[in-house]
Structure 1
Amino acid sequence: MAKMTGSRNILVTLGIILFFIVLAYAYLSPLIEGKVLQMPDIEHHKGMAKELADYREETGEEAIWTNSMFSGMPGYMISVIYPGNLSRYISRPIRQVFSTASFLILYLIGFFILLRSLKINRWLSVAGAIAFAFSSYFLIILGAGHMSKANAIAWLAPVVAGVLLAFRGKPVAGTLLFAAAFSFELLSGHLQITYYGFLLIAVYGLVELIFAIREKTLPSFFKAFLFLLAGAVVAIGMNFSRLYTSWEYSKDTIRGPSELTSNNENKTSGLDKDYVVQWSYGIDETLTLLIPNFKGGGSQINPGTDSESFQALRSQNVQNPRQTIQAVSMYHGEQPGTSGPVYVGAIVVLLFLLGLFVVKGPIKWWLASATVLSIVLSWGGNIMWLTSFLLDYLPFYNKFRAPSMTLVIAEFTMPLLGFIALNDIISGKVDKKEWLNGLKWSVIIAGGLSLLLAILPGISGNFTNATDAMRFPDWLMDSVIADRKNMLRSDAFRSFIFIALAAGAIYLWHIKKIKTTPLIAAVGILILIDLWAVDKRYLNNDHFVPKRQAENPFQQMPADQAILQDDDLYFRVLPLQNPFQDARSSYFHKNVGGYHAAKLRRYQDLIDHHLQPEIQQMVSGFQGGTAMDSVFMELPAINMLNTRYVIYDLNQAPVRNPMPLGNAWFVPEFKVVGNADDEIKAMENFDPAETAIVDQRFSDYVAGKSFSKDNNGHIELTEYQPNYLKYDYTAASEQFTVFSEIYYENGWNAFIDGEPVPHFRVNYVLRAMLIPAGNHTIEFKFEPKSYYVGNKVSLASSILLILAIAGYGFARFRKRKTKTA
């Protein structure tokens, strides 16, 4: 009989998984037609990763370094495969089989596993999984192409499930689940989400410790902790190659400290404070958790042709009012822009509040505390006194931007507490009088607030933000405000209706008008209808395109075609249209600019202090009719980066720079400076063709040296790969040689005639070397030990986890066989 029950449970679970798959494809139905999501960040990624992907396809190896972005940078956070981590052989096929739907499927399955680990009713766990998976932000990021973020979010629930099992008397099973899930979590490569998951678990651990002290159960607490610590070590070991290279690289990126001393009050040991808090959730904007359009939805949402704004445009005889109305944004929050609100669902908010009243023990205090922490942290720059303190003192907190992202914790904790509460009620764990009182107050708080805002939307504020005055004329502003009020009124009333229906269903169950299964079905369906409708505002069928269009996101334009006719091995291109926030040019060319949130810190300094000013100077020169040679002669940073072409209009031929310095050149002079401040300043008035700026840390290389210009000498790049450069040169005497290559000490090795030689940094970002007289060959090879050593550790850790899981499974099988014998 036990065997029959076990088989039935397996079949039911497989049926639920099949239901999740069908549900995911129902929402993302164009996938069935062979279409794919048109995702801006994926398009950027294809531009970023093109050189790395091409090299992998051509050679079967990893380049690890790319010169197609920011004049050269490691590819660790772009597109590098770490073969030692065997988890990828599971993760990758899932992505290949289910495409974008895989993320929604993993959301559903992961949260279902978490709820079942807490012994939540199976069908209630299905409803809870839907509540979690269809939270608006989780669908919005799919539309934006934030796939690593989505993957990391999907694995959070199984990670937490493992932790909970370990602390609930199953340390071995919990640890194995935790280690496996955590390995996939880290494989996702979105350390910001992983960090927030760590905060969530840290709060749980603190609450458990407090209760363990109070209840004198410290031995079992530390047993679970030590088991989980071992599991974490294995999971980290499996991802050691990725983590080691990322850690090593991060110290040199904008997520590491700057050596420049200006604007110190804004600096941290990571990102600058003003950069961190750009996307901070407004304090009142938190109400989008309950009412999606509390702040007008997303930045691209417009009021439509039935709005007062449209009538105002027509009354002013504005040409093409149907087109103009699309630029009238309904969003009036404090963020620079947003793809949509963080909406967990009106019913989820109701159940969460109910959980605060009826759930007992450490799990309530954990989930309540984590929710509050999540919301407060999301306010970021709106509570700068706290945020500044955390950026200075909370470890690693200053490595991440966009405080609004911390709301992923609330999106996790609110449905979890809500469905724990509902499970406790239907299982009879809570006294009827107690939960009825809790339901009453939950309806009063959530439903009452929604109804109040539906009746009196004006009490929420003035429905404007700081940018409105620049975007809308006075004659339009009143209509825009009226439309924003109407949007809030409509959505507030909508939330009230869903709260009333869910509360009504629970009450009907209480008075025995419906049974438990219909109650669960009603709650699940209402949540799905609520969230599905809101999600479709931001991710719908219009976001899908034919697969061939997505596979080739960038078309060759006349400017590209002209540049690609140049068959020289290696030179760079500078696009003038948003050069440092666009990876389009990286798809076709070696790019001075690019798009990446973890560019090298020194290159960012070069952008801020020299490249941006030089670009402005160049544009002014073009517009003023200055002679081409005269314009480019005054652009030392652009010239030393071997910038041969400037794209000012994709439909026109590019401007060819007559002054690029090439791949490498000899300089007769050098200037030693004391620090980074002096180095960046010395580049304001210097000729890189004649002089090299050397930081005093590298002064030993040039101490006592002098060089003369060798007019008959030459150096030429003869072989190019992203991770390998070969030069032939002839020189009559020792030469100070500057290479138009970005200096990065953790992996680049230099060789002359096959023998290793030192190289050093000059001109703030470039490489230099002293080369002997004669005819010789120079090679640069990117050989980061962190990558190769890390892969060996990853492989060993992967094998260890596989053996541990196999051993546990075998032991369980033997135990079950012994019982049935």
Structure 2
Amino acid sequence: MKHFEWKSLLPHVIAVAVFVLVAVVYCKPAMEGKVLSQHDVSQWKGMAQDLMQYKEKTGHYPLWNNNLFGGMPAYQIAMEANNPVSVIYLHKVFMLWLPKPIGYFFLLCIGFYFLSQVIGSNYWLGIMGGIAYAYATYSPVIVAVGHDTKMQAMGYLPAVLAAIWLIYQKKYAWGLALTAIFSALLVGMNHLQVTYYFLILALVMTIGFIIQWVKSNDYKHLGIALSLALVGGLLGAGSNLVTLATTSEYSKATMRGGSNLDTTAIKTNPTQKTTGLSTQYAFFYGSYGPAETLTFLVPGIYGGSSNGELTSNSHIGKAAIERGFPEDQAGQLASYMGTYWGPQPMTSGPVYLGAVICFLFIFGLVYLKTWHRWWILTVCAIAVVFSWGSNFALFNEFVFNHLPLYNKFRAPSIILILPQLLFPLLGVMAMQQLLFVEKDKKAALAKLKLSAYITGGVFALAGLLYLSFSYVGANDDGIKGMLGQIFRGSQEDTTTFYNLLIADRKSLFSNDLIRSLVLVAGAMVILYLYLTEKIKLNYVLAGLVLISSIDLLAVGRRYLNENNFQDEETYNESNFKPSPVDLEIMKDSSRPRVFNTTVSSFNDATTAYHHRDIGGYSPVKLSIVEDLLNFQLKKQPLNKQVLDMLNMKYAIVQNPQDGQPALQVNPDALGNVWFVKHIQYADQPIGVMRAMDHFNPKDTAIVETGSKKDIAFEPVADSTASIRLVKNDNDIVEYASNAASNQFAVFSEIYYNMGWKAYVDGKETPIVQTNYVLRGLAIPAGAHKIVFEFKPASYYNSNKAAIGSTAIIWLLVLAAIAAGFRKPSTKMA
């Protein structure tokens, strides 16, 4: 190894310092001890509280969560693998131990910067690209709502891409080691949809490399490179095998694995189970409109966010002030107005990649001669078309139904994280070539002019849309209704203020259109002056970094700013402080189930923070639970007997007199377990569900005919028989029974056959799926100890393989370090 030049680290130190400084300033409240108020994180804390409390007592998380939808596996909420050598410990290192969300933005910046250095870019261009990738508006938008795992996974996308690129550059040792490490971290963030989209990117890029290797007859390198990339990826995945194995197993039983009650399947084949989400569900949220793609360049085309972006300086705000509203109330009224009017049912903000970055991307396509532009353009085109979802249904439904595993994911516009990465990447490549390699500035100037014409054409298209749009949204009837209430039914005032909202939407479009046009013109002028030798290189670099960064940081502040932060005490009190009703329920040490009708019962997990909730929120709830909700509990009137069998002792309802939560006690709750008098058999799952429309769960258990073999005897009525819960320790639940005759017990616990086992006096006994969602057990006469244990093989068997994969990864790192000492260092190409 040659003598190391410490001065060579200075550019990278500058880059790190810039990234930290920008993130700290951007998220200043986090440095003041404030916390983000994130809807999805608040929901997650509700989901996870039972697990957190368990860990406080035992030192580890349980695998079963008692507090959500009557009970469900905890894999996708909070789980830890017993891997003492896990690379996940590097995650905090790569975030420099910075607080949330500062560390998130830094992670995206440094990940892209690493990629820029692998492709040989100037460090200032790497800084420009890193900020562009990290602060494109989708990032602050998802941070604001609480998509933390998605944001962190995005931080490793460019790092894995760079590591694979090292392999393809014949830097095998470090390429393999880093591919394994960064793949492990990407998968370890546990956002498989981001990982899936990365695989699409990696596949297309690899095809591009293969074409070049075949053209140059470099078949040896082709074989080595593909093998090492595959090995590195598999090792990274293997180190997360606990997560992957449990997720793979569990997904089959969730709504993403399909339903036993799909009516289309039942008509043709009553035993068939559909797999994957329905297109209606998967595409409902996050189907970008074709014209909406222009938000890459002009963020306000469709008004921005459904949450409203207007202030007292808007048309509505000024009109309200003229009507006598105090300025703060006028601003509040304006902020209630939903400015978004595009094709999606709602959105938290547009995907804006930056006007300057979009221009540099177009310039890269026109100017660069490298073949890399073609795979980058291909990935971006795929991402854009996929993101249209239901707005290009003929194509996207075909892809959804035929592309392997794609039907497990929803919100197709998430795939636009790929252009978010690749637009600045191509822009950096173009600037590297233009500023540090190009000799023929006259030819480059011609390409710049052509790029200006193309970009001007895009702006002209946006201008035509501005003139042709109606600015009327699908949800505007609700806005008119709200205005009608505010103005006490005055049709004239309602119409006036609604028309002002239309004017505000037009202003948001026109203001951003002019803004983007000015920014692009500024970038063009900088490059023009450079190519005509009017300004020096340093001014070009400074100008591009500043205008591209200020552009994105300013727009991002619309969606993530001081208003998103709260004092931690205020946050906890407003979200998790128990109400008087909560405190009353918590006096019941038996911890029965609760049904809260004062919130969106099946789309809100906050009740689970304090209670064992019949409802909740989870995008991966068990499909049998989803079926029960759809067939029995979401209908009107809901099936009260189903609530009884789920042991709903308490309902939280709204007091009609004061609108506050009130407590109702259900005297018919059946408890934790009971003996039934009869077993009613039904053909097929749909038969079980239909039989539950009218039944008495206290006396009758409904079981599918195919499970009859697991019931050794029919129950015999015994008025003196008893069964009770002894303890519920999440993964271990114990009961005691005593009866003079054979019995069949129904347990008010959710059935899940991939891990739960039942033992009667130590002898394993089949668990019978009962009443569609519950567990049943045939219990012989006499006194017995009954134990349920949750020990999924997918968890315990995969842990050793995960440890082995991780150990190999660390050995590869040591090998790469050793190889670095043996061989002369080479400059990255």
Could you state the TM-score of these two structures normalised by the residue count of structure 1?
Answer: 0.93
Give the AA of the match of 2:777: M
Equivalent residue for 1:637?
A: 642
Equivalent residue for 1:25?
A: 24
Contact in 1 for aligned 2:173/2:819 (Cα 8 Å): no
Residue aligned with 2:679, SS = strand
Alignment counterpart, residue 407 of structure 1, candidates 416, 422, 439: 416
Count of residues in Structure 1 that have an aligned counterpart in Structure 2 = 798
2:535 maps to 1:514: yes
2:522 maps to 1:501: yes
Equivalent residue for 1:749?
A: 757
Could you state the TM-score of these two structures normalised by the residue count of structure 2?
Answer: 0.92
- Alignment partners' CA distance in 2, 1:171 and 1:238: 20
1:322 offset after TM fit, Å?
A: 4.5
Gaps of 5+ in 1: 619-633
**1:462-501 mapped onto 2 (5 Å cutoff):** 462-472=470-480, 473-501=494-522
**1:102-141 mapped onto 2 (5 Å cutoff):** 102-141=103-142
Give the AA of the match of 1:643: M
Alignment counterpart, residue 289 of structure 1, candidates 267, 292, 296: 296
| RMSD, matched Cα | 2.3
**1:270-419 mapped onto 2 (5 Å cutoff):** 270-279=276-285, 280-310=287-317, 321-419=330-428
Residue aligned with 2:662, SS = coil
1:161 offset after TM fit, Å?
A: 0.4
398-407 vs 355-364, greater mean Cα deviation:
355-364
Alignment counterpart, residue 637 of structure 2, candidates 606, 617, 634: 617
Contact in 2 for aligned 1:64/1:74 (Cα 8 Å): yes
2:209 maps to 1:208: yes
Residue aligned with 1:180, SS = helix
Residue aligned with 1:645, SS = strand
2:647 maps to 1:646: no
- Alignment partners' CA distance in 1, 2:303 and 2:799: 48
1:752 offset after TM fit, Å?
A: 1.6
Contact in 2 for aligned 1:424/1:430 (Cα 8 Å): no
Cα gap change, 1:551 to 1:86, in 2 (>3 Å): farther
2:584 maps to 1:562: yes
Cα gap change, 1:436 to 1:696, in 2 (>3 Å): farther
Equivalent residue for 2:89?
A: 89
Q: Deviations over 1:490-512 (max 9, x none)?
A: 11000011101111111111122
1:204 offset after TM fit, Å?
A: 0.9
- Alignment partners' CA distance in 2, 1:690 and 1:74: 29
Contact in 1 for aligned 2:305/2:350 (Cα 8 Å): yes
**1:585-624 mapped onto 2 (5 Å cutoff):** 585-613=607-635, 616-617=636-637
Contact in 2 for aligned 1:559/1:649 (Cα 8 Å): no
- Alignment partners' CA distance in 2, 1:295 and 1:477: 16
Give the AA of the match of 2:414: M
1:321 offset after TM fit, Å?
A: 4.8
1:816 offset after TM fit, Å?
A: 5.0
**1:628-707 mapped onto 2 (5 Å cutoff):** 635-649=640-654, 651-702=660-711, 705-707=713-715
Cα gap change, 1:262 to 1:174, in 2 (>3 Å): same
Residue aligned with 1:164, SS = helix
Give the AA of the match of 1:727: Y
141-150 vs 751-760, greater mean Cα deviation:
751-760
1:817 offset after TM fit, Å?
A: 10
Equivalent residue for 1:621?
A: none
Residue aligned with 1:513, SS = coil
Q: State the identity %.
A: 34
2:604 maps to 1:582: yes
Equivalent residue for 2:815?
A: 807
2:426 maps to 1:420: no
Give the AA of the match of 1:493: I
Give the AA of the match of 1:504: V
1:83 offset after TM fit, Å?
A: 2.6
Contact in 2 for aligned 1:453/1:489 (Cα 8 Å): no
- Alignment partners' CA distance in 2, 1:217 and 1:317: 77
Q: Deviations over 1:20-46 (max 9, x none)?
A: 112211111112211121111111111
1:2 offset after TM fit, Å?
A: 6.0
51-60 vs 445-454, greater mean Cα deviation:
445-454
1:344 offset after TM fit, Å?
A: 0.4
- Alignment partners' CA distance in 2, 1:713 and 1:160: 64
Equivalent residue for 1:622?
A: none
Equivalent residue for 1:52?
A: 51
Contact in 2 for aligned 1:575/1:593 (Cα 8 Å): no
- Alignment partners' CA distance in 2, 1:8 and 1:814: 22
Contact in 2 for aligned 1:661/1:689 (Cα 8 Å): yes
- Alignment partners' CA distance in 2, 1:544 and 1:287: 30
Cα gap change, 1:197 to 1:817, in 2 (>3 Å): closer
- Alignment partners' CA distance in 2, 1:400 and 1:308: 40
1:313 offset after TM fit, Å?
A: 5.4
Give the AA of the match of 1:90: L
Contact in 2 for aligned 1:309/1:479 (Cα 8 Å): yes
Residue aligned with 1:653, SS = strand
Cα gap change, 1:458 to 1:102, in 2 (>3 Å): closer
Cα gap change, 1:467 to 1:92, in 2 (>3 Å): same
Equivalent residue for 1:523?
A: 544
Residue aligned with 1:617, SS = coil
Equivalent residue for 1:725?
A: 733
Gaps of 5+ in 2: 268-272, 481-493
- Alignment partners' CA distance in 1, 2:595 and 2:261: 28
Contact in 2 for aligned 1:457/1:485 (Cα 8 Å): no
Cα gap change, 1:434 to 1:693, in 2 (>3 Å): farther
Give the AA of the match of 1:594: G
Contact in 1 for aligned 2:277/2:408 (Cα 8 Å): yes
Cα gap change, 1:352 to 1:94, in 2 (>3 Å): closer
- Alignment partners' CA distance in 2, 1:817 and 1:41: 47
Residue aligned with 1:395, SS = coil
Give the AA of the match of 2:613: N
